[in-house]
């Protein structure tokens, strides 16, 4: 079983990538990551500039992340697909649905995701839905995220599973991974604390291993599905230097992957 590549979501650097993307990428490379996940970097830079940055740092683009609104516009979907293909990346992540306050919003979104997923497959990339905690809200006894899974084509719509948000949502990350083992090529590995509930409420994001997520069990389950990428994500590093947070988290993640 081959080991997954280890990436980082640039959100931990807050606004710095907008002003100093080159410096951020050099810091990420020095920390030892294989790649980065970001939004469409062509919004503000030329293709040549972006390609040069990746070549100079030796980093790969693990995937691109966009909000629901960008997927409702096929022209923007095509722009994001072209960004991925420019850098040899395969994964396009979506956060959010048409309306998270009703099951109808998830059902409407499922139709769109199937269309987008087919468009991505035709272009040689993979559409993935990224979960948060609020998709675990029940409507008439049905959990919204599980209903979304039922209504989407398993070949066209995969999952970028965020293990922290699964736990905050009220489910066991390892069990969730086993349930959807055939649909998860890509993970967000996140840690933190939360208030219990259905779903719960996030209270603090932490470096990997410093929060309450059972990351050893989650990573063991994740490795069984042989994902291409495990991507560290921390929505904020609070009063710490993000480079220190990123380095600490990578060391912890490497240890868990080695342990298997």
Contacts of residue 52, Cβ cutoff 8 Å, sequence gap at least 6: none
Summarize pLDDT for 103-148 with one digit per residue, the tens. 999 999 999 999 999 999 999 999 999 999 999 999 999 999 999 9
**166 and 190 in contact (C-beta within 8 Å)?**
no
Among candidate residues 234, 237, 248, 257, the one with its CA nearest the CA of residue 37? 234
Quick one: pLDDT at residue 67? 96
Integer Cα distance of 252 and 34 in angstroms: 15
> What CATH number is associated with residue 205?
3.20.20.150
Nearest Cα residue to 199 out of 141, 142, 106, 137: 137
Alpha-carbon distance of 141 to 40, in angstroms, equals 37
H or E segment at 126?
strand 126-130
Residue 65 has pLDDT above 90, yes or no: yes
Under 8 Å between Cβ of 27 and 16: no
SS3 of residue 248 by DSSP: helix
Strand partners, 205: 192
> How many other CB atoms sit within 10 Å of the CB of residue 22?
14
Supply the pLDDT for residue 124: 98
Is residue 208 within 8 Å of residue 237, measured between CB atoms?
Answer: no
Rg (alpha carbons) of the chain, rounded to whole number: 17
pLDDT 10s digits, 141-194: 999 999 999 999 999 999 999 999 999 999 999 999 999 999 999 999 999 999
Average pLDDT score over residue span 64-86:
97
Q: Which one-letter DSSP state was computed for residue 4? A: P
Greater pLDDT, 146 or 1: 146
Question: pLDDT at residue 2 above 90?
Answer: no
Strand, helix or coil at 243?
A: helix
Describe the crossing of helices 103-123 and 74-86 by its angle, rounded to 10 degrees. 40
Q: Looking at residue 260, what is its pLDDT?
A: 87
Tell me which residue has tokens 């409420």. 201
What is the dihedral angle through the alpha carbons of 100, 106, 112, 116, rounded to the nearest 10 degrees? 80
Please count the structural domains in the chain.
Answer: 1
DSSP string, 159-171: EEEEHHHHHHHTS
- pTM exceeding the 0.85 threshold for the entire prediction: yes
What contacts 198, CB < 8 A, 6 or more positions away? Answer: 136, 137, 138, 170
Domain hosting residue 79, numbered range? 5-259
pLDDT in tens, 20-59: 999 999 999 999 999 999 999 999 899 999 999 999 999 9
Closest CA to 191 of 171, 216, 227, 170: 216
Looking at residue 205, what is its pLDDT? 98
Question: Which candidate, 110, 205, 222, places its Cα nearest to that of 164?
Answer: 205
Per-residue pLDDT, 1: 61
pLDDT at position 255 is 98
């Amino acid at each position: 079983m081959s080991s997954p590549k280890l990436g980082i979501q640039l959100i931990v650097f807050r606004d710095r990538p907008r002003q100093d993307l080159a410096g951020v990428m050099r810091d990420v490379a020095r920390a030892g990551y294989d790649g980065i996940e970001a939004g469409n970097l062509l919004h503000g830079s030329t293709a040549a500039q972006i390609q040069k940055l990746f070549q100079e740092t030796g980093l790969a683009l693990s995937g691109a992340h966009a909000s629901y609104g960008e997927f409702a516009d096929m022209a923007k979907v095509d722009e994001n697909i072209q960004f991925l293909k420019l850098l040899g990346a395969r994964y396009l992540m979506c956060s959010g649905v048409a309306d998270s306050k009703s099951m109808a919003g998830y059902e409407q979104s499922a139709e769109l995701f199937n269309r987008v997923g087919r468009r991505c497959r035709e272009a040689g990339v993979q559409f993935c839905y990224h979960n948060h905690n609020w998709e675990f809200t029940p409507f008439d006894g049905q959990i919204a995220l599980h209903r979304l899974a039922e209504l989407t084509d398993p070949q066209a719509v995969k999952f970028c599973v965020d293990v922290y948000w699964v736990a905050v949502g009220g489910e066991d990350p390892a069990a969730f991974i086993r349930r959807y083992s055939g649909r998860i090529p890509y993970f967000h590995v996140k840690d933190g604390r939360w208030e219990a509930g259905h779903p719960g409420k996030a209270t603090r994001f932490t470096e990997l291993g410093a929060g309450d997520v059972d990351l050893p069990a989650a990573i063991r389950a994740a490795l069984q599905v042989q994902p291409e990428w495990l991507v560290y994500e921390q929505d904020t590093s609070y009063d710490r230097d993000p480079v220190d947070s990123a380095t600490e988290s990578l060391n912890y993640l490497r240890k868990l992957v080695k342990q298997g």
